[in-house]
Amino acid sequence: MSNAKRKTTEAMVDWVVPYLMNNGFKGSYPNYRRIRPGQIDLVTFQFSCCDQAFCINIAKCPPEGVRYKTGEFVKPSEVIALHCPQRLYLGVQEGHSYHWFKCNPRRQEIIQKEKYPFVTVYKDTPLKYKYMADDIINLFKKQAEPWWENSEAWWEKGLPTYNKLFMDFFYSFQQSSNMVYRNRRHA
With a cut of 80, say whether residue 179 has pLDDT above it: no
Rounded to an integer, what distance in angstroms lies between the CA atom of residue 43 and that of residue 162?
19
With a cut of 50, say whether residue 185 has pLDDT above it: no
Residue pair 31/43 in contact by the 8 Å Cβ criterion = yes
How many other CB atoms are found less than 10 A from the CB of residue 6?
13
With a cut of 50, say whether residue 187 has pLDDT above it: no
Q: Tell me the pairing of strands 31-36 and 26-28.
A: antiparallel
pLDDT for 131-156, tens place per residue? 999 999 999 999 999 999 999 999 99
Contacts (Cβ under 8 Å, ≥6 apart) of 25:
32, 33, 34, 41, 43
pLDDT for 69-100, tens place per residue? 888 899 999 999 999 989 999 998 887 778 88
Amino acid at 4: A
Angle between helix axes 128-139 and 3-11 (nearest 10 degrees) is: 50
Q: With residue 5 as reference, give the H or E element that holds it.
A: helix 3-11
Instruction: Report the length, in residues, of the chain.
Output: 187
With a cut of 90, say whether residue 3 has pLDDT above it: no
| Full domain range(s) for residue 161 | 3-186
Domain count, the chain: 1
Smallest CA-to-CA distance from 147 within 61, 62, 59 is with 59
Q: With residue 21 as reference, give the H or E element that holds it.
A: helix 17-22
Which ranges constitute the DSSP H helices of 2-127?
Answer: 3-11, 17-22, 107-111
Residue pair 45/144 in contact by the 8 Å Cβ criterion = no
